[in-house]
């Protein structure tokens, strides 16, 4: 059904509104790292950006999108991304969405700091838009200044439900 164009003075009918919203079909993919309750996020390392684990597909409506070994394949298009990657006691840190096909960065988080002497999860948060002219592979990556064994990529809450660490939401907008 075609979108209705409204002008000043038009009476908006419920069916026209419903038809307009039905014509907009967002394609969304959500992936995260899910671990059993009490499982820490893993040991962090320093020196370079490291691929974060994404082991659970929550939703994937993007035609041509897939994930294998934490590497996401995306078709050509315009995208909005929202991602998070926690660290614990990592000192300085930053995350990025990396186009591994072309070795370019698509979106960066802000820089941050989590005191190495304090057990605390702090998130790197990425939010942005990017355009892919052709199919590419992408990774959620993170770098820390201080390596921490076992819990460097997230401290477990151990509240009787799964632990969720890194996560990414990708919306194909065009």
Q: Tell me, what CATH number does 142's domain have?
A: 2.60.120.40
From the number of C-beta atoms within 10 Å of its C-beta (0-12, 13-18, 19+), residue 21 rates as exposed
**Arithmetic mean of pLDDT over the chain:** 93
Q: Where do runs of H (alpha helix) occur along the chain?
A: 14-23
> Average of pLDDT values for 32-58?
97
b (16+ CB within 10 A) / e for 50-75: bebbbeeeeebebeebebeebebebb
129 found inside a domain: yes
**Residue 9 forms part of a structural domain:** no
Contact criterion met (CB below 8 Å) for 74 and 64: yes
Separation CA 91–CA 63 (nearest Å): 39
Residue 24: pLDDT over 80: no
Of 35 and 11, the structure prediction assigns the larger pLDDT to 35
Number of domains in the chain: 1
Q: What is the pLDDT of residue 23?
A: 60
> Which is more confidently placed, 120 or 151?
151
Does residue 12 belong to any structural domain of this protein? no
For residue 1, what pLDDT is reported? 46
Q: Residue 154: CB partners within 8 Å, gap ≥ 6?
A: 40, 41, 42, 86, 87, 88, 121, 163, 165
Considering the domain boundaries, does residue 145 fall inside one?
yes
Residue 139, in any domain of the structure:
yes
Residue matched to tokens 């370019």? 104
Q: Which residues span the domain enclosing 116?
A: 28-172
> pLDDT tens digits, residue range 1-23?
455 676 777 776 777 666 666 66
Q: What whole-number distance in Å separates Cα of residue 99 and Cα of residue 105? A: 6
48-99, pLDDT tens digit by residue? Answer: 999 999 999 999 999 999 999 999 999 999 999 999 999 999 999 999 999 9
* In-domain check, residue 10: no
**Regarding beta strands 91-99 and 112-114, do their DSSP bridges make them parallel or antiparallel, or are they unpaired?**
antiparallel
Does the reported pTM lie above 0.75? yes
Residue 114 lies in a domain: yes
Q: How far is CA 172 from the centre of its chain?
A: 13
Sign of CA dihedral 144, 138, 58, 77: positive
Is 64 contained in some domain? yes
Give the mean pLDDT of 16-39. 84
């Amino acid at each position: 059904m075609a979108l209705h164009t409204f002008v000043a003075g038009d009476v908006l009918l419920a069916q026209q509104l419903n038809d307009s919203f039905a014509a907009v079909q967002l394609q969304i993919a959500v992936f995260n790292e899910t671990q059993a309750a009490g499982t820490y996020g893993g040991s962090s390392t320093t020196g370079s950006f490291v691929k974060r684990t994404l082991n659970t597909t929550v939703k994937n409506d993007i035609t041509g999108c897939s994930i294998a070994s934490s590497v996401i394949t995306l078709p050509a298009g315009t995208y909005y991304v929202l991602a998070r990657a926690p660290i614990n006691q990592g000192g300085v840190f930053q995350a990025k969405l990396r186009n591994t096909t072309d070795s370019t960065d698509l979106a960066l988080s802000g820089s941050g700091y989590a005191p190495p002497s304090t057990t605390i999860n702090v998130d790197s948060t990425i939010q942005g838009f990017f355009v892919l002219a052709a199919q590419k592979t992408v990774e959620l990556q993170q770098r820390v200044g201080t390596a921490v064994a076992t819990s460097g990529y997230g401290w477990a809450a151990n509240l009787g439900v799964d632990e969720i660490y890194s996560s990414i939401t990708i919306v194909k907008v065009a």
